[in-house]
Amino acid sequence: MRPRRFGDARGWFMETYSEASALAMGIDVRFVQDNQSFSAAEGTVRGLHFQRPPHAQAKLVRCVRGSIMDYAVDLRRGSQTYGQYVSAKLTAEGGEQLFVPVGFAHGFVTLEANVEIAYKVSDIYAPECDGGILWNDPTIGIEWPLPTLGAILSDKDKALPTLAVFDSPFDYDGKSLVPLVAPGPGDF
């Protein structure tokens, strides 16, 4: 998704979220919290994260400084696309956004230094529901665009389980994994 920007000589204005526009796109989610993260180095990987029920979260992610490659991995039991992912390059300059539904793990890698991400979530942070899948799980097969020095990860992210040993708490909701396409003018 790319919210439309209205610009003039002073700069630009952008509506980053509209409930009516989201509903028109089939996104029926109530957001309850906004989060922001900063990553100092290029090649910082955060993810692949999710929250289990009863505090599972949908996310609407955007990059407010710099650029990232963003990923959402399907973790819904019974889904034909279980373990598959979609990705999108999100840039502050372009204003792109990625919606990550409940039942998907989320992760990103910074494509430059000094990157800030802002995202809305549909439920509170609940540490007891925190979970994740190993970022470089070969079963998923994400080809992360990493700098020569490799990935920068937290100790927590290095120790996450693989998909093979993961017991998913998410059920398939009948909605297909939608590949990301280039948005047109006036898209949300």
Q: What is the 3-state secondary structure (H, E, C) of the chain?
A: CCCCEEEECCEEEECCCCHHHHHHCCCCCCCCEEEEEEECCCCEEEEEEEECCCCCCCEEEEEEECEEEEEEEECEECCCCCCCEEEEEEECCCCCEEEECCCEEEEEEECCCCEEEEEEECCCCCHHHEEECCCCCCCCCCCCCCCCCCCECCHHHHCCCCHHHCCCCEECCCCCCCCCCCCCCCCC
The active-site residue, picked from 49, 55, 85, 172, is: 49
The active-site residue, picked from 17, 119, 125, 172, is: 119
Contact 74, 32 (CB under 8 A): no
**Partners of 130 in the beta sheet?**
51
Let me know if 55 is a catalytic residue.
no
Let me know if 106 is a catalytic residue.
no
Contact 74, 177 (CB under 8 A): yes
Name every residue whose Cβ is closer than 8 Å to that of residue 128 and which is 6 or more positions away in sequence. none
Active site residues: 49, 119
